[in-house]
């Protein structure tokens, strides 16, 4: 403060820092001096800084909490639905979704399970119908073959009898009897 009309300096006294302000009064020929502990001046700035850190930490924690809630309540159910759809696509018709705690997805999971059950029922129904159709075709073919087989067998027996070959006639008659006994069982 020497030689200056006003100003400040920082002084240390007993491990505490002070800001010392001074200004000269020309009318009184005096020097006016004021001192303030530096921590007292910086207290509002320090409080604002601490408040900023606390607010930033709270916002970060709230953001992490919101991200977790969104993940567990939205992302996980969507991933489960995707996995269920992949199972259906691969042919696992028994794939069903278990209920989640999120009531928004409960209806969607129920609809998925209903759709999967209907698909399984329809595919099994088509499969049973295909089996019945194949059985009917086989029976129809058998019914066409049986008269021709009988006519051919009887024609063979007649021709063998006309040629006086009794052994093939007897053998064919026994074979024919065994065949019809088996088919009418």
Band (pLDDT 50/70/90 cuts) for residue 139 is confident
Secondary structure of residue 148 in the 3-state scheme: helix
Q: How many Å apart are CA 75 and CA 64, to the nearest integer?
A: 15
Compute the average pLDDT of residues 124-145: 87
pLDDT of residue 50: 95
pLDDT of residue 92: 85
Backbone torsions φ then ψ of 108, nearest 5 degrees? -65, -40
Strands (DSSP E) along the chain, which ranges? 6-13, 16-25, 30-37
pLDDT of residue 112: 86
pLDDT of residue 6: 66
Contact yes or no for 123/93 (Cβ under 8 A): yes
Band (pLDDT 50/70/90 cuts) for residue 2 is low
The 10s digit of each residue's pLDDT in 148-173 is 788 888 899 999 999 999 999 999 89
Q: What is the mean pLDDT of the chain?
A: 86
Q: How many Å apart are CA 153 and CA 173, to the nearest integer?
A: 8
pLDDT of residue 54: 97
The 10s digit of each residue's pLDDT in 98-114 is 866 777 788 888 888 88
**84 φ/ψ sector (left φ>0, alpha ψ -120 to 50, else beta):** alpha
Backbone torsions φ then ψ of 67, nearest 5 degrees? -65, -40
Compute the average pLDDT of residues 5-18: 84
What is this structure's pTM? 0.47
pLDDT of residue 61: 97
Pairing of the two strands 16-25 and 6-13: antiparallel
pLDDT of residue 183: 74
Contacts of 185 (CB under 8 A, 6+ apart): none
């Amino acid at each position: 403060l020497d030689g200056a009309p006003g100003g400040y300096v920082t002084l240390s006294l007993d491990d505490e820092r002070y800001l010392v302000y001074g200004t000269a009064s020309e009318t009184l020929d005096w020097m006016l001096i004021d001192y303030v502990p530096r921590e007292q001046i910086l207290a509002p700035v320090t409080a604002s800084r601490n408040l900023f850190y606390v607010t930033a930490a709270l916002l970060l924690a709230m953001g992490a909490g919101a991200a977790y809630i969104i993940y567990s309540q939205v992302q996980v159910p969507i991933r489960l639905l995707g996995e269920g759809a992949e199972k259906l696509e691969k042919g696992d018709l028994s794939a069903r979704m278990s209920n989640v705690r999120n009531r928004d997805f409960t209806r969607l999971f129920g609809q998925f399970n209903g759709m999967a059950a209907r698909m399984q029922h329809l595919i099994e129904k088509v499969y049973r119908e295909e089996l019945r159709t194949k059985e009917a075709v086989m029976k129809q073919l058998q019914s066409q073959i049986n008269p021709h087989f009988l006519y051919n067998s009887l024609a063979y027996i007649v021709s063998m009898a006309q040629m006086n070959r009794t052994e093939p006639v007897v053998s064919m008659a026994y074979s024919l009897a065994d065949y019809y006994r088996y088919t009418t069982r």
